[in-house]
Amino acid sequence: MKKLPSLFLALLALPCASALAQSYYPTRPVRMVVGFPPGGGTDVVARIIAPGLSENLGQPVVIENRPGATGTVAAAMVAKSPADGYTLMMGHVSVNAIAPSLFPNLQYDVFKDFAPVTLAASVPHFVVVHPSLPVNSIRELVAYSKERPGKLSFPSAGNGSTPHLAGEIFKSMAGVNLVHVPYKGSGQSMADLLAGQHQVAFDTAPASAGYVRSGRMRVLGVSSAKRVPEYPDVPTVAEAGVPGYEVITWYGVFAPGGTPPAIVNRLHVEIAKAMEAPAAHARLAEVGADGTVTRSPDEFAAIVRADTARYAKIIKDAGLKID
């Protein structure tokens, strides 16, 4: 029998070596990058999931906040990281689906540069106001705003973020003139609303819920199609005066593009287990998050593709542009 060329034998060994390496994954800490400062919705969801994921993987999962440019700075960094499963990103619909329609010079490709792992949470937005604002309903907010065009301001997590889009869509549908003020994350923007520098916000439930429960902000409506079970007395914005208004934010875990499928699948399974743990499930519900895990990485990838197309149309139809 003729001997097989050594190069051919080496090529045959590659899949085996890859599978062997993946079977031992992870052997060191895993970092989960968050493109926003602490305190925002993305950060909150990441920190709820991280402890259970650490336990399931047998290695620490370290949250690393890298704020800047509505999360796109962190996304570009993760896109260029080694595809070995040791750098993950808690992604966001604004970073992974909306950004391509708003940022002409985006430093990553949302489809090629990331491997979707799983949906982590879907959350509605709360329309909240500072307690000093003399309005107690969406209809009253609309009327008050129309009487004072350009006098009320709303902060957001940054240009192109979902709190920004939620506010712009509200302005368009309600026919009001509110001034947008972008920040580097919801933690900062909501702090300034709390301090009275702004009057209204359209941020996510995780970013707003703590302030609402403590009475430091007043919630007028929720952006989902149905009321949130944890807040049954809060009407939807649509039923409260702006028919058709609906905005949902999702968070999801991504790995760099080219990460081996075996690692992606392992992460999917372990994240699902972490989210199903009673403590994590209760914490997600507490902040108004629907902790629905996608059935597979492919299912999550399909959601990303569909929302990229959907928001491209919304942004075009509304004529939204980055300031």
Give φ, ψ of 213 to 5 degrees. Answer: -65, -35
Which of helix, strand or coil describes residue 218? strand
Terminal C-alpha separation, the chain: 71
Kindly tell me the burial class for residue 40, based on how many C-beta atoms sit within 10 Å of its own C-beta (0-12, 13-18, 19 or more): buried
Residue type, 122: S
> Over 60: is that where the pLDDT of 14 sits?
no
What CA–CA distance (Å, rounded) separates 54 from 35? Answer: 20
pLDDT at 207: 85
Strands 126-129 and 200-201: antiparallel
| Two structure tokens written together for 322 | 């980055």
CB 156 within 8 A of CB 183: yes
pLDDT at 187: 83
> Over 80: is that where the pLDDT of 290 sits?
no
Pick from 55-64, 178-187, 249-258, 290-299: least confident: 290-299
Give φ, ψ of 192 to 5 degrees. Answer: -75, -30
30-122+248-318 CATH fold: D-Maltodextrin-Binding Protein; domain 2 (3.40.190)
Concatenate the DSSP letters of all residues of 250-268 into one string: EEEEEEETT--HHHHHHHH
Q: How many C-alpha atoms does 261 have within 13 Å on its Cβ side? A: 4
What CA–CA distance (Å, rounded) separates 76 from 233? Answer: 41
> Over 90: is that where the pLDDT of 131 sits?
yes
Mean pLDDT of 63-91: 95
Chain mean pLDDT for the chain: 89
Within the chain, residue ranges assigned H as helices are: 6-23, 41-57, 72-79, 93, 99-102, 138-147, 162-174, 186-194, 205-213, 237-240, 261-276, 278-286, 297-318
Q: Do 30-122+248-318 and 126-240 show the same overall fold?
A: yes
Mean pLDDT of 199-208: 92
Mean pLDDT of 214-228: 93
With pLDDT > 90 as the criterion, what percentage of the chain qualifies? Answer: 64
> Over 60: is that where the pLDDT of 1 sits?
no
pLDDT-derived band at 102, boundaries 50, 70, 90? confident
Within 94-216, residue ranges assigned H as helices are: 99-102, 138-147, 162-174, 186-194, 205-213
Other residues' Cβ atoms within 10 Å of the Cβ of residue 272: 18
Q: Give the residue carrying structure tokens 């593009």.
A: 257
What CA–CA distance (Å, rounded) separates 225 from 185? Answer: 25
For residue 53, the Cα-to-chain-centroid distance in whole angstroms is 18
pLDDT at 18: 46
Pick from 211-215, 220-224, 227-231, 300-304: least confident: 227-231
Tell me which architecture the domain covering 126-240 has in CATH. Answer: 3-Layer(aba) Sandwich (3.40)
pLDDT at 3: 47
Domain positions in the chain: 30-122+248-318, 126-240
* Residue with the larger pLDDT of the pair 316 and 28: 28
Return the bridge partners of 179, or none: 153
What CA–CA distance (Å, rounded) separates 208 from 210? Answer: 6
> Over 90: is that where the pLDDT of 185 sits?
no
For residue 285, the Cα-to-chain-centroid distance in whole angstroms is 16
